[in-house]
Structure 1
Amino acid sequence: MCSYEDISKQSFELAFNLACKKLANMTPEEICHNSGASSAVQDKVMIDYLNRPYVVTISTGEISPENEEETVPVKDQILILHYLTQAKGKPFTDKLITYGQIEGGKFYIPAFIQRNIQPLLKCFGHRPELLLEVGRKIGGISAAYGDVAVRIDAFPRVRIFFILWKGDDEVSPNGTILFDGNIPDYLSSEDVCVLTETIVWKLVRMA
């Protein structure tokens, strides 16, 4: 399982409601300390997600973009809720890990490759410089890995690296996706796969 769509509607609603209930039992100070969110008005915190600020109501789990009337996709809502409720406050380690090194991730490596790395290579494998160009639109910066790499801080304490190696007449382009070693302290392997897929398709659509 590597996608929220793979679970039943009933299970999805249960997971969403559990996350809302857990959030409601947390204090703004606890949430901000653990996740890097900032305190807004009473009963609300503000969190950056993919270079956009979102306001989260603690008592209800309601999420909305700051200063915008826009419906947040449910997939993004649950990612934000899981990040806020699972965050442990661990700083970046500056050591990279693979998806398979995240607890539970090794069982879903084929799905992770199919949903994330293959679309990345299909779109950017023969034009890797475009990856950095579109990555900057969601807050990405250049990173010193592979031939071209972009670092995207999806949340204040979740850092993901999208890395490409150029191909030639004899070797096909290659790529990988790596994470700062603190990511298991913020998201489950399923959440990480869904988050990465969300980012990859944002990049593809902007290309």
Structure 2
Amino acid sequence: METNYKVAYEHEWKVLKSRDLNDVAKRRVAIYDQEKNQIRLKFLNNDYILDCNEETIVREKDGFVHSAETSVIILNYLGYTEIDAEKSDKWISMKEIPNGGMQFFPAFYKNTVIHLINKYGYDLDGFEQSCLELGGIPCNVGDKGFEFEVFPKVSVRVGLWEGDDEIAPGVNVLFNKDVQNFMHVEAAIGMGMYIGKRILKKEISGLL
């Protein structure tokens, strides 16, 4: 699987480097250093440096390198389209993301949503603590909900309905209505899965 993501990683770099990087930075609220040929981008409240010569992505504060899977999401946000749009304040479910959201939802539910329900369905406090540690901002979704600014123009909301003796727990994951302007549907879904893994506190680190 990692080999497949490495191929995707190389492809995303090729696409990004075919763009005018000054324009990319303006469209995606990043900073381009032309002399160093580097892009500084905020990803989940941390600054990352993308070196377009070395084709590397590192967290600025400590040099951390994500897995290829996560790095592809970062690259896709920057290079997927040349659309210059504002971030929508309206929200949609994964099923409503155009061009594939409905198709990919069953796998997303199986790999992410059900695990969140199983771990936090009867533990609102644990869910809240994990979301706050990840930088989530409380929002009006579920019994407790949190919004995560993944990128400057793309956020994810995760809401939990706590279960009891009569009602089963539930989880809803929402995306900005215009997410398809900034990311391919598969990258958006990968982003949702990444947030889910972080809330679950699963190991997501790893070198390419």
TM-based fold match above 0.5 = yes
Deviations 1:88-143 (A, max 9, x none): 33222211111111121111211011112111111111112322322122221000
Percent sequence identity over matched residues?
22
- 2:94 aligns to what? 99
The answer to whether the 8 A contact 2:39-2:49 is kept is: yes
In structure 1, distance between residues paired with 2:68 and 2:6: 10
In structure 1, distance between residues paired with 2:61 and 2:163: 44
Structure 1 residue 162 corresponds to structure 2 residue 158: yes
Question: Structure 1 136/39 Cα, relative in aligned 2: closer, same or farther at 3 Å?
Answer: farther
Question: Structure 1 124/89 Cα, relative in aligned 2: closer, same or farther at 3 Å?
Answer: farther
Question: Structure 1 70/12 Cα, relative in aligned 2: closer, same or farther at 3 Å?
Answer: closer
Offset of residue 12 of structure 1: 3.9
- 2:114 aligns to what? 118
Structure 1 residue 190 corresponds to structure 2 residue 186: yes
In structure 2, distance between residues paired with 1:157 and 1:132: 24
Q: What are structure 2's unaligned runs of at least 5 residues?
A: 203-208
- 1:177 aligns to what? 173
62-71 vs 153-162, which deviates more?
62-71
Deviations 1:140-180 (A, max 9, x none): 10001221001001111111110111222111111111111
Offset of residue 41 of structure 1: 6.0
Question: Structure 1 38/139 Cα, relative in aligned 2: closer, same or farther at 3 Å?
Answer: farther
- 1:52 aligns to what? 46
- 2:60 aligns to what? 66
Aligned-residue Cα RMSD (Å) equals 1.9
Structure 2 length-normalised TM: 0.87
- Which of 10, 14, 25 pairs up with 2:18? 25
105-114 vs 20-29, which deviates more?
20-29
- Residue 62 of structure 2 aligns to a residue whose secondary structure is coil
The structure richer in helix per residue is 1
- Which of 119, 123, 126 pairs up with 1:127? 123
Structure 1 length-normalised TM: 0.87
The answer to whether the 8 A contact 2:5-2:68 is kept is: no
Across the two proteins, how many residue pairs are aligned to each other?
A: 199
24-33 vs 77-86, which deviates more?
24-33
In structure 1, distance between residues paired with 2:54 and 2:16: 8
